[in-house]
Amino acid sequence: MKVFIPAAGLGTRLRPFTLTNPKALVEVDGVPMLERVILRLKRDGFDEMVINLHHFGDKIEEFVKAHDNFGVNIAFSDERAELLDTGGALLHARRLLGGDDRPFLIHNVDILSDAPLRELIDRHQRSDAAATLLVSDRESSRRLIFDGADALRGWHNLSTDEYKPAGFESQSDYRQLAFSGIHVMNPAEVFAEMNRQDRSGRFSVIDFYMQSIGSLRVEAMEVDRLRMIDIGKPETLALAPTLLREIGG
């Protein structure tokens, strides 16, 4: 199974480092996050990866090539002309992700965790979902909403009390869970729905999922006591070495 690693973001919250470097190369205990993610995926048996590029993309290419691709097959999806956000990036990388008959994993470059990736894939392959999102009940200002059958029903911004999709109404059996930035996707179904919606250019994959409720089945795989950090801001980056020691790198 191939893995798509979104690594194109501007990383504005990690300035001044990201004024001259890509966020993917910020270090945790002396090792760039991109290296940590690639090696973690490699340990879990993944050997084909696609990395998207925009902000200081040349530095990411040079870093990967200097390490001989870390012993795996790595292709680059070039977004240097235009940053495409999480959904547009997937559509742009479609030809690099293999045939539409095989699911692929998406793992954000800024996520450090003990997520059970193989369990996520097994769960997805046993279901009829077009996508399976790894989620947990942890502190987060934005949450996805799932029904009693684990199907995605909505999105909630706790800071502003905004809900999506428009007209959303919660039910008693609905649960609000935090997305980990890790999910598995069936390309045939997902890209067909993107085409049906006439998607192109820059768009968010979460917004796409919201607009696809009723057309695509998107499911949760909830992980109890998931240990993870999004290193995308200074306060969480500072906590990352401690988590790294807890989960064993």
Would the pTM of this model clear 0.85, i.e. be above it? Answer: yes
Note the pLDDT of residue 220.
Answer: 97
pLDDT on residue 182: 97
Q: How many distinct structural domains can be found in the chain?
A: 1
What's 117's domain CATH number? 3.90.550.10
Residue 130 DSSP class: S
The 10 Å CB-count burial string (b at 16+, else e) for 100-119 is: eeebbbbbbbbbbbebbbee
Closest among 33, 29, 23, 52 to 233, alpha carbons compared = 23
Q: What is the pLDDT of residue 112?
A: 95
Query: Which structure tokens are listed for 165?
Result: 């999709």
Predicted local confidence at residue 249, as pLDDT? 64
Q: What is the pLDDT of residues 150-171, one digit of tens each?
A: 999 999 999 999 999 888 887 8
The domain containing residue 201 runs over which residues? 3-247
Query: Which residues have C-beta within 8 Å of that of residue 63, sequence separation ≥ 6?
Result: 25, 32, 34, 35
* Euclidean distance between CA atoms 35 and 243, whole angstroms: 17
Residues of the chain whose pLDDT is less than 50? none
